[in-house]
Amino acid sequence: MSKVALITGSGRGIGKAVALELARDGFSLVLNVKKNVEEGLETLKQINDVSEGILVQADVGSSEGAQKVVNQTIQRFGSLNALVNNAGLGIAKPLLETEEALWDKQVAVNLKSAYLCMRLAIPYMVKAGEGRVVNISSVAGIHGLANLAAYSAAKAGVIGLTKSVAAELSGSGITVNAVAAGLVKTKMGDSLLKFIGADDDAWAKNNTLTQKLVQPEEVAALVRYLVSDEAKNVTGQVFVIDSGSSVSPAKKFLEH
């Protein structure tokens, strides 16, 4: 019987890439979208070419939505081996222009959804005696990003949550890790570049070490490792994949 992975926010971008990667690796998939059902169905079609899966429309930033997606996972497949908390939202605004509703929305999508899905999914992993949780964070959660205060705060929370729960699950056979992505070639990444008025090549050349943007498939390959048996002793860690952007000042340190 194949293993089962639930991936939130998996209609496009990183979530879609992770879903396709795990499907090719033999997982059965539970996809999730909040609004863009057409994108979810297109991803599901591609999943079903190599494995089997279902699509659950739900807002995992709410208790009802998180419960719905976990319940349907168990109803359809009877187990849950891997949870990838990928649902995310980043809207660039200075802190003083960030209304409370926008703050709450970004915290709910990026952080609360991970808490809710973990709280609901982990009991099934405990019962099975093993499981994998991967939380998609961001370099914004490590060093912060101007005009992304809510997003940065939420992604920092994801890192703290990851480490705390990994410690709580010591000896359970369940690992919990985070992936801190830099600027990835996705719709969200494109919108951030548009916000600062830069194009892909120029930004990558000036702000990374590899001079290339991270592709969603590269993040997916890292997630595939973290949910594999080979990663059974990797837990409580944060893996940065950002083309070297977070350390790029080192390159320029001795330049005139």
The CA distances from residue 120 to 58, 59, 97, 201, in Å, are: 15, 14, 34, 42
pLDDT tier, 254 (very low <50, low <70, confident <90, very high otherwise):
low
Residue positions annotated with a catalytic role: 151
DSSP letter at 137 equals E
pLDDT tier, 226 (very low <50, low <70, confident <90, very high otherwise):
very high
Name the average pLDDT for the chain: 94
Helix H or strand E encompassing 117 = helix 113-128
Sign of the dihedral defined by the CA atoms of residues 212, 217, 218, 220, in that order: positive
Q: How confident is the model over 100-121, as pLDDT tens digits?
A: 999 999 999 999 999 999 999 9
pLDDT tier, 201 (very low <50, low <70, confident <90, very high otherwise):
confident
Domains and CATH numbers, the chain: 4-249 (3.40.50.720)
**Which residue carries 């998996």 as its tokens?**
10
pLDDT tier, 194 (very low <50, low <70, confident <90, very high otherwise):
confident
Provide the pLDDT for residue 256: 60
Q: Measured in whole angstroms, how far is the alpha carbon of residue 165 from the centre of its chain? A: 16
